[in-house]
Structure 1
Amino acid sequence: MGWIQNLCSVYDQNLEEIKAETKGLLPIGYIEQAAQLEVWIDQGCFEYARVLPKSESMTRIPCTIESSSRSGKNPAPHPLFDKLKYIAKDFNQYSEEGGSYSQYRLFLEAWCKSSYAYPLVRELFEYLEAGTLIQDLVEEKILVLDEQGKLIEKWKGLENKPAIFQMVTGTQADAFVRFVVDGVQLWKDPNLVESFTHFYQDQLRNKERIDLDLITGQQIPVTMRIPSKVRNSADMSKLISSNDSQGFTYRGRFVNPEESMSMGYESSQKAINALKWLINKQGRTFGEAVFVSWGSNITSLIEFNESADLFDLDENLPEYQFDTYEEFSKALNQAMKGYLSKPLIANEEVMTLGLEAATPGRLSIIYYQQTSSSQLFRNVLFWHKTISWHKTLFYKHAETGKTISRQTIGSPDMNKIIKTLYGESVNPKLLASSAKRLVKCIQEGQPLPRDFMQKAVVKALNPYGKSADEYNQILEVCCAVIRKYYIDEARINGKEEEMPVRTDLECKDISYLCGRALAVMNFIEDKAKPENEKKRETNAMRYMGQFSRYPQSTLISLQSKLQPYLLRLKTDYYEYLLSDILSQIDPKQFEDAPLSGKFVLGFHAQLHDLKYGYKKDQAKAEKED
């Protein structure tokens, strides 16, 4: 139960975040619901109504234990705001479906008669008791009746479609209603929150089972019903559920579900509401999974953030343009030192929770890790340093509006890694499981799994059918993954391998040298091609996959195809460079055997340096030549 206790602590420490705005920390006994109708009541009389646009629909509503997780044939009504079929006393006059107003009014009447009654709620109750809500909405031309005077279930055709049918997914009876009474938006009224909370907790003490709360150790009202909508407002999966009396959720160990767990109503509300708030605030979704990290004292200690490549180490770091890996590493160290020097953070406990829907109705915890912030930041720093590679950033020019690219060095975003390796339309389950494995590498410092590297190599050797920019972005991510794997592999074997981002002129690995040679041949042909053939794929790119499998025989073929292009060049610089690379390959070890992933690293590092890295040196060499 450690994660529940941590979340309850987060709730207690952030009570000031309980505000009227959506996606904030919810009060105990509240959930968020999309409303489609807003009805204004003034002095107990209907005044006005409107259909809400989606941008204004999210509404905080009070709920009971039963209504917060309602499902089945006879779902419990919410205490105040609800669908028309619950709150309209005259609903049965306009529909054959049958309303549930009698069930709805029981709670509202008890609330209005209690010592915790709120005047505005009492005024609303008196209006609803008059039984004119549907009639008023019809007269206001919000609801639409058929020729028999009944609510139309479905609008036929697309022309002149009423606003209510554009916003409600079901029938008009399913329209969710919120109220404004005497100019007060009840869903934002803190006085109503206080009134409802005190009344409902008093009811729980009189009606619910009093037992030991395993979270706080107190004898308080407990519940077996835990709120849903954890990941988002449409999520009906629950983290804790006990209604499976046919399976083996608790059978074989306990006679009934109450023996297996005893959680206080207040504790369950605090934990789930805190988790919802954290997910909305700093969670990150990968397919069907969501991951969120928080500190025991500082909730925003670390955030999953797209702009900062998984972790928001420094808000300005991704905007820097790094010409060398040393500059990138230095900036990363400065960002990390800034975090580790903050008060409390060095000894802060950091929790990371990963959730995924095991079935449509149940959430499973696929990852939970609790560690010190100092160790976590060291692991994150190591991740960024070892998976960084050349990176192309795109932005729009302020004056011309044209898209401009710039070169830097950085680490790819986790979501981008997965979608690059498995495709944009990756299966949500695969996306979630891959994210879980990468989170372990980042947060726990575990080595990158070999299959990620293998997938990156296969993807990098497949340039066919892609534009130059598209393939370059794929290649950048793949190289980052491959570099990370080889650094981790060397670390496991007790060695230190730097794997430079720029071309490693000292590396004698055959695979790396072959990659460099292919990059030079590709650059020569691309540079020497006539203008009318610029879009044509080079021989080097066409034979890239074959070269990686049969390097010796493919190299001979590529060299023969390269001769016409060498003759067109005005310099021998690139020919000398190619000869220098090939001369470093040991003939005794060079055979038609598949090359390793370092082939891709050598290819992109050399190609990048030819395009951007050695421009001054190249210009000087070509001039001297």
Structure 2
Amino acid sequence: MAAEQHLAKLRNDRDRAKLISSTDWSGFTFRGRFTDTKGCNTYQTCGVGFKITQKAHNTLRWLISRQGYRSGDQAIVAWATSDIQIPDPLADPLSILGEEELVSDEPDIVLTAQNLANKLKKKIAGYKTDLGDTKDVVVMGLDSATPGRMAITFYRELTGSEFLERLEKWHETCAWVHDYGYNPKTKKRIRFVGAPAPRDIAVAAYGSRVDDKLKKATVERLLPCIIDGQQIPRDIVDSVVRQACNRSVMNGWEWNKTLSIACALFRKLNEKEGHSMALDEGRKTRDYLYGRLLALADSLEQWALNKAGEDRQTNAARLMQRFADHPYSTWRTIELSLIPYKARLGAKSQKRQTLIDKVHSLFDHPEDYTSDKKLSGEFLLGYHCQREALKPKKDEPESIDDANIREEEQI
């Protein structure tokens, strides 16, 4: 018996959109190539049985509610046909591993980036053991432009090994050290290494007030990068880099998150460059060195401000956007502004000044240093890596600024 009425409410209880509809004999909901009439429609259309449509729609509804990603009218779900649990392709390692796996047994000590990356690999290896090479994985995306019509916007069938290999490659090539703040219950810093979630990329690219339509489009464009291994869209990377440079309009937690996402995406876009997540002291590219200089100036001034009990942004933070557009002229302004802070700190600032001089000496060509050409996103990598290198190796502090103070006062 063919079904004339097919189920709705796939994504939520108020969902009226349908994947299959048979109401096209009046009102012309669907204007396709069919010329059949209601009385004779067996040649150009096909029927779906009542039991089949009930089973298919109810199963899809259950999968979406259980393990799907939903954003407005958009729904994306992945499942193994053998009913074996698989990782969410749109999740970050924090969601895949769980917070308990991301902290060490010793209090107030965060695991190194290498250990965290290895934990993610072991987790994916466990899924590989369960799935094997023959079991299939399906990834499906659904969306609707109108209240009554739903479409499949993305559909892939892969073997379990293919799915997990591509997911592992995404988290490996788009990896960076992310720090999303403290857990108020455990009083520990939540830190993970891997690729950011697409929904977080969308917010980082277009701001916290991004509209649902743009957010859905961004997630949809990133899905083939994860599942098919396609190149990440350059415009999304450029947008996140611009947002990260505009530090003054965001609070500290939001900006730190945007910064790490920008580093991850730039590293992914320039995968062949082999950028390291750790500070590369031998790297002599102009943009990377300018990023290191900005981090050193920022930390020195912040240290002096904290010592004096002043709570305001540093000149390096305020001028970050201008620095990205005109590095040489802006650096001269920032460097001159450090003079009173170095005088305030006295001999304690000597170590930081020595590091600044060392970075200056790494410019191979004078014209690289004196050029006011706009910086690429690589300067954010240099900034982030240098800032991480300034942190103490033990005893996770309450903030990066406190780390600078403790480190310098021990000299």
Q: TM-score range by the shorter chain?
A: 0.7 to 0.9
Count of matched residue positions in the alignment of Structure 1 and Structure 2: 391
Of 341, 350, 353, which aligns to 2:129?
341
Report 1:460-539 matches (<5 A).
Answer: 460-487=244-271, 490=272, 497-529=273-305, 531=307, 534-539=310-315
SS of residue matched to 2:79? strand
Higher RCO by CA contacts (8 Å cutoff, separation 6 or greater): 2
Q: Structure 1 residues 235 and 623, CA, compared in 2 at 3 Å: closer, same or farther?
A: closer
Deviations 1:396-424 (A, max 9, x none): 245xxxx5535443432222221222223
Report 1:101-500 matches (<5 A).
Answer: 221-244=1-24, 245-247=26-28, 249=30, 251-256=32-37, 258=41, 259-303=44-88, 308-309=93-94, 312=96, 317-318=101-102, 323-342=111-130, 344-392=131-179, 393-397=181-185, 403-487=187-271, 490=272, 497-500=273-276
Retained in 2: the 8 A contact 1:284–1:304?
no
Does 2:361 correspond to 1:583? yes
Shift of 1:588: 2.3
Partner Cα distance (1:326, 1:453) in 2: 25
Letter in 1 for 2:221: R
RMSD: 2.9
Letter in 2 for 1:229: K
- Structure 1: gaps spanning 5 or more residues: 1-220, 491-496
Letter in 1 for 2:357: S
Q: Structure 1 residues 253 and 356, CA, compared in 2 at 3 Å: closer, same or farther?
A: same
Q: Structure 1 residues 377 and 530, CA, compared in 2 at 3 Å: closer, same or farther?
A: closer
Shift of 1:388: 2.3
Q: Greater strand share, 1 or 2?
A: 1
Between 574-583 and 559-568, the greater mean CA deviation after superposition: 559-568
Which residue in the other structure is 1:596 paired with? 376
Q: Which has the larger radius of gyration?
A: 1
Shift of 1:536: 1.3
Letter in 1 for 2:361: S
Partner Cα distance (1:265, 1:246) in 2: 24
SS of residue matched to 1:242? coil
Partner Cα distance (1:424, 1:564) in 2: 37
Shift of 1:449: 0.9
Deviations 1:315-360 (A, max 9, x none): 9545567543322222222222222122x43321100110011211
Letter in 2 for 1:597: G
Deviations 1:203-226 (A, max 9, x none): xxxxxxxxxxxxxxxxxx002321
Deviations 1:428-485 (A, max 9, x none): 2222221112221112222211111101111101111333233222222222222222
Shift of 1:372: 1.0
Partner Cα distance (1:326, 1:558) in 2: 35
Letter in 2 for 1:396: P
Retained in 2: the 8 A contact 1:306–1:413?
yes
Partner Cα distance (1:620, 1:589) in 2: 34
Retained in 2: the 8 A contact 1:307–1:318?
no
Identity of aligned residues (%): 29
Partner Cα distance (1:242, 1:430) in 2: 31
When normalised by structure 2's length, the TM-score is: 0.86
Partner Cα distance (1:469, 1:267) in 2: 49
Shift of 1:614: 8.8
Report 1:60-79 matches (<5 A).
Answer: none
- Structure 2: gaps spanning 5 or more residues: 397-402
Deviations 1:47-90 (A, max 9, x none): xxxxxxxxxxxxxxxxxxxxxxxxxxxxxxxxxxxxxxxxxxxx
Letter in 2 for 1:607: R
Deviations 1:271-316 (A, max 9, x none): 1011001111111113321101111112533436757456x36795
Q: Greater helix share, 1 or 2?
A: 2
